Every structure is written in structure tokens, then in C-alpha cells.
């Protein structure tokens, strides 16, 4: 991707994440970037292409980060916290308007995100569950039940209708949901380590 195309994509993505894409015009993007619409169309055939590229880029970046975390030589608790932080950082970037626009005006993309979320979630957390059970930090219950329960919770909470009707931001709802889900699958020893590790990590960030 050329530097110019990357710059346009980065700017448009952040604008879409903040304001949604349905009411954001190409004229508005060009004006805010102080470039011509012709320059944008040189790299993207339509606004829909920018939206799709935004989604695919975010998915690729997230998958790469999650794979790196999973491959690290660290405890399951450490990995759970890092993955939770990564997911919350994504949710912090996007607004409820962006999520609503995707579901209403680009259902195909929304379905792709749902499929990616399910597939990636299952793969990543299955690996952590197996490791955590070996470490005696995660409860010994069938993976498929734990994963299906967690996935159902995420789908229900990180949902435009739920967020709007209950006046939660995606980041706030995601943080509470992940915290409940993680502590719910830990053993007593796991919960103690989780609280200690979380505190240590927060101090490192200060």
C-alpha cells in the first residue's frame, strides 16, 4: 500500500470509527484531509471500498496481535489479561454509531466480523483454556460449554441495540463483560493470580 493510500485509509478509518460511515461523505473526508476527492478516488473506487478495507485491516491487525500473545512463553492468566486489553483497545477506538452502521447498512461486513469474531475467539481461548487447566488456574469444565457461554455473552453485550438501550459505551460494556467472564472460569488460585497480575500490569503502565 502506498504512503498516500495508507494515509487516506488511516484518516477515513478513524473518522468512521468515531462518526460512523453512513453520514460521512467522501466530500467531508476530502475537505478534512485538505485533498481533492479525485485523489481519494485514485486509490479507492468508493466509500464502500474504504469501509471494507478498514474492516479487513482491523481484522488482520487484531489476528496478528492475538497470535503473538498466544505464542508467548507466559502463564494463561497473563495471556488472558493481554488479550482482554487488546480487545478493549479496539472497542475504545470504535463508537456505537460505527457498530450500528455496520449492522444496518453493511450486513455482509457485519456477518464477516461476526464469523471472524467467533472463529478467532474459539481458537485463541481454546488454547488458553487448555494451558490454564494444566496450570490449575482455570476450572476443569468442557471447553465447548465455556467458549459457547462466553461467545454468547460477547455477542449479546457488544451489540448496537444493547449498548444504545442500556446507555453503555462499547468499551465500558466490553470491560465489564470480559472481567465477569474471566473471573468466572478461574479457580481460586487463578483468581488470586489474576488480581495480582492485573495490579502489577497497571502499575507498569503508569
CA–CA gap between residue 85 and residue 81 (Å, rounded): 6
Do 137 and 182 contact (CB within 8 A), yes or no?
no
CA–CA gap between residue 62 and residue 76 (Å, rounded): 19
pTM of the model: 0.81
Average pLDDT over residues 178-185: 91
CA–CA gap between residue 137 and residue 100 (Å, rounded): 37
Q: Above 70 in pLDDT, residue 157?
A: yes
Q: Above 60 in pLDDT, residue 179?
A: yes
Could you tell me the pLDDT band of residue 203, with boundaries at 50, 70 and 90? Answer: low
Do 123 and 62 contact (CB within 8 A), yes or no?
no
pLDDT tens digit sequence for 25-79:
999 999 999 999 999 999 999 999 999 999 999 999 999 999 999 999 999 999 9
Give me the pLDDT at residue 206, please. 44
**Of 3-7, 119-123, 190-194, which range is least confident?**
119-123
Q: Which residues contact 23 (CB under 8 A, 6 or more apart)?
A: none
Strand, coil or helix: what is 94?
Answer: coil
Do 44 and 8 contact (CB within 8 A), yes or no?
yes
Give me the pLDDT at residue 71, please. 94
Average pLDDT over residues 191-202: 84
Q: Return the top range by mean pLDDT from 5-19, 73-87, 158-172, 188-202.
A: 5-19
Could you tell me the pLDDT band of residue 128, with boundaries at 50, 70 and 90? Answer: very high
Strand (E) or helix (H) holding 44: none
Q: Above 80 in pLDDT, residue 166?
A: yes
CA–CA gap between residue 128 and residue 8 (Å, rounded): 37
Give me the pLDDT at residue 120, please. 87
Average pLDDT over residues 166-173: 87
CA–CA gap between residue 84 and residue 67 (Å, rounded): 13
**Of 119-123, 146-150, 184-188, which range is least confident?**
119-123
Give me the pLDDT at residue 45, please. 96
Grid coordinates given for 103 = 449492522
Do 91 and 158 contact (CB within 8 A), yes or no?
yes
Give me the pLDDT at residue 98, please. 92
CA–CA gap between residue 114 and residue 122 (Å, rounded): 12
Could you tell me the pLDDT band of residue 144, with boundaries at 50, 70 and 90? Answer: very high
The per-residue b/e assignment along 59-90, b for 16 or more CB within 10 angstroms, e otherwise, is eeebeebbeebbeeeebbbbbbbbbbebbbeb
Amino acid at each position: 500500500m502506498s504512503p498516500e493510500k495508507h494515509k487516506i485509509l488511516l484518516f477515513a478509518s478513524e473518522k468512521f470509527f468515531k462518526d460512523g460511515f453512513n453520514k460521512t461523505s467522501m466530500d467531508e473526508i476530502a475537505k478534512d484531509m485538505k485533498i481533492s476527492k479525485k485523489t481519494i478516488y485514485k486509490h479507492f473506487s468508493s466509500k464502500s471500498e474504504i469501509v471494507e478495507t478498514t474492516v479487513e485491516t482491523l481484522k488482520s491487525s487484531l489476528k496478528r496481535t492475538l497470535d503473538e500473545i498466544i505464542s508467548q512463553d507466559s502463564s494463561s492468566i497473563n495471556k488472558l489479561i493481554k488479550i482482554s486489553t487488546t480487545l478493549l483497545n479496539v472497542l475504545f477506538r470504535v463508537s456505537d454509531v460505527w457498530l450500528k452502521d455496520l449492522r444496518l447498512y453493511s450486513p455482509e461486513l457485519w456477518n464477516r466480523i461476526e464469523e471472524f469474531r467467533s472463529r478467532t475467539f474459539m481458537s485463541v481461548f481454546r488454547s488458553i483454556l487448555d494451558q490454564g487447566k494444566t496450570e490449575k488456574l482455570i476450572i476443569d469444565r468442557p471447553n465447548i460449554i465455556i467458549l459457547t457461554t462466553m461467545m454468547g455473552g460477547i455477542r449479546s453485550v457488544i451489540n448496537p441495540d444493547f449498548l444504545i438501550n442500556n446507555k453503555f459505551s462499547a468499551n465500558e460494556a466490553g470491560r465489564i463483560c470480559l472481567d465477569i467472564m474471566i473471573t468466572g472460569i478461574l479457580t481460586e488460585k487463578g483468581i488470586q493470580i489474576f488480581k495480582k497480575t492485573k495490579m502489577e500490569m497497571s502499575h507498569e503502565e503508569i
